[in-house]
Chain A
Amino acid sequence: MTDPFRLQARGIRKAFGGVEVLHGVDLDAAGGEVVALLGENGAGKSTLVKIMAGDHQPDAGEVVIGGDRFDALTPVSARQAGVRMIFQELADAPTLTVAENISLGRWPTRGPIVRWRVVRERAAKVLEQLDVDLDLDAPVAGLSVSERQIVEIARALSDRARCLILDEPTAALSSQETERLFRFVRRLRDQGVALVYITHRLDEVREIADRVAVLRDGAVVLEGPAAGMSRRDLVSAMVGRSIGDVARPADVKAPESASPRVRLAGASVDGCFSDVALEVRPGEVVALYGKVGSGIAEVAQSVFGMRPLTAGSLELDGERKQLRGPADAIAAGVGLLPADRQREAAFMVLSVAENLSAPSWSRLSDRGFITARREAATYRRWHDELHIRSRNDPAQPLATLSGGNQQKVLLGRWLERESRVLVLIEPTRGVDVGARAEIYRSIRALAARGVAVLVATSDYEEVVQLADRAVVMARGRIVADLADEQITTERLTEEVGGR
Chain B
Amino acid sequence: MTMPAAEEMAGPIAGEQTVGAPARRKPLLARIPDIAPLAVLLIGLCIFFAIKSEFFLEYDNFLNILTAAAITGIIAAPATLLLVAGQFDLSVGSGLTFAGIVMAYVAERQGLLAGVLCAVAAGLLLGAINGTLVTVVGVNPLITTLGTLAAFVGLARVIADGQTLPLNDFSGLGTSRPLFDIPLPVIIFAVVVIVFAGVMRYTVFGRSMYAIGANPVAARLAGIRTKRLIFAAFVLSGLCVALAALINVSQLSAASTQAGNGLELSVITAVVLGGASLSGGRGTMLGTLFGLLVIAVLNNGLTLLSVNSFWQDVARGTLLILAVSFDQLRLRFADR
Q: Which residues of A contact B (CB under 8 A)?
A: 304, 306, 325-327, 329-331, 336, 338, 343-350, 354, 358-359, 361-362, 365, 368-371, 380, 383-384, 389-392, 402, 413
Closest beta carbon of chain B to A164's beta carbon, Å: 33
17 A-B pairs within 8 Å (CB atoms) are namely A325-B225, A326-B223, A330-B223, A336-B221, A338-B221, A344-B221, A345-B221, A345-B222, A349-B214, A350-B210, A358-B222, A365-B204, A368-B204, A369-B203, A389-B21, A392-B8, A392-B11
**In the complex, what residues of A have CB within 8 A of residue B2's CB?**
none
Given A345-B218, A348-B214, A348-B215: 6 more A-B contacts, CB < 8 Å: A325-B220, A326-B222, A350-B214, A370-B202, A370-B207, A389-B20
Chain B: how many interface residues by the 8 Å CB criterion? 33
Say yes or no: A390 contacts B17, CB within 8 Å.
yes
Say yes or no: B17 contacts A392, CB within 8 Å.
yes
Q: What are the 4 closest A-B residue pairs judged by CB atoms, nearest first?
A: A330-B223, A389-B20, A347-B214, A358-B222
**In the complex, what residues of A have CB within 8 A of residue B21's CB?**
389, 402
A350-B210, A389-B19 known; A370+B282 contact, CB < 8 A: no
Say yes or no: A358 contacts B211, CB within 8 Å.
yes
Q: Which of B8, B214, B277 has the largest count of A CB atoms less than 10 A from its CB?
A: B214
**In the complex, what residues of B have CB within 8 A of residue A371's CB?**
202
Contact of B211 among A304, A306, A336, A350 (CB under 8 A): A350
Say yes or no: A347 contacts B224, CB within 8 Å.
no
B217 within 8 A of A: yes
Contact of B222 among A384, A391, A402, A413 (CB under 8 A): A413
Question: With A and B bound together, what is the CA distance between A340 and B217 in angstroms?
Answer: 11
Say yes or no: B17 contacts A326, CB within 8 Å.
no
Closest beta carbon of chain B to A364's beta carbon, Å: 8
Q: Quick one: which of B217-235 are within 8 Å of A by CB?
A: 217-225
Say yes or no: A327 contacts B218, CB within 8 Å.
no
Closest beta carbon of chain A to B57's beta carbon, Å: 37
Say yes or no: B202 contacts A369, CB within 8 Å.
yes
Closest beta carbon of chain A to B25's beta carbon, Å: 13
Q: Quick one: which of B5-28 are within 8 Å of A by CB?
A: 8, 11-14, 16-17, 19-21, 23
**In the complex, what residues of A have CB within 8 A of residue B281's CB?**
347, 349-350
**In the complex, what residues of B have CB within 8 A of residue A362's CB?**
204
**In the complex, what residues of A have CB within 8 A of residue B13's CB?**
383-384, 392
Say yes or no: A346 contacts B223, CB within 8 Å.
no
**In the complex, what residues of B have CB within 8 A of residue A306's CB?**
221
Question: With A and B bound together, what is the CA distance between A309 and B205 in angstroms?
Answer: 30
Closest beta carbon of chain B to A91's beta carbon, Å: 23
Q: Which of B17, B215, B219 has the largest count of A CB atoms less than 10 A from its CB?
A: B215
**Which A-chain residue is minimally distant from B210 (CB atoms)?**
A350
**Which B-chain residue is minimally distant from A414 (CB atoms)?**
B222
Closest beta carbon of chain A to B132's beta carbon, Å: 18
Question: With A and B bound together, what is the CA distance between A365 and B199 in angstroms?
Answer: 13
Say yes or no: B218 contacts A346, CB within 8 Å.
yes
**Which A-chain residue is minimally distant from B281 (CB atoms)?**
A349
A347-B281, A350-B281, A368-B204 known; A358+B217 contact, CB < 8 A: no
Q: Quick one: which of B146-174 are within 8 Å of A by CB?
A: none
**In the complex, what residues of A have CB within 8 A of residue B215's CB?**
343, 346-348
Say yes or no: B20 contacts A347, CB within 8 Å.
no
Contact of A347 among B11, B218, B220 (CB under 8 A): B218
**In the complex, what residues of A have CB within 8 A of residue B208's CB?**
361
**Which B-chain residue is minimally distant from A389 (CB atoms)?**
B20
Question: With A and B bound together, what is the CA distance between A365 and B224 in angstroms?
Answer: 14
Question: With A and B bound together, what is the CA distance between A338 and B208 in angstroms?
Answer: 20
Question: With A and B bound together, what is the CA distance between A310 and B203 in angstroms?
Answer: 37
Say yes or no: B282 contacts A349, CB within 8 Å.
yes
**Which B-chain residue is minimally distant from A372 (CB atoms)?**
B201
A327-B223, A327-B224, A361-B204 known; A347+B19 contact, CB < 8 A: no
The interface bits of chain B over 180-223 (1 if a CB of A lies within 8 angstroms of the residue's CB, else 0) are 00000000000000000000001111011011001101111111
Q: Which of B202, B203, B218, B277 has the largest count of A CB atoms less than 10 A from its CB?
A: B218
Say yes or no: A391 contacts B225, CB within 8 Å.
no
A346-B215, A350-B210 known; A368+B203 contact, CB < 8 A: yes
Contact of A354 among B23, B207, B223 (CB under 8 A): B207
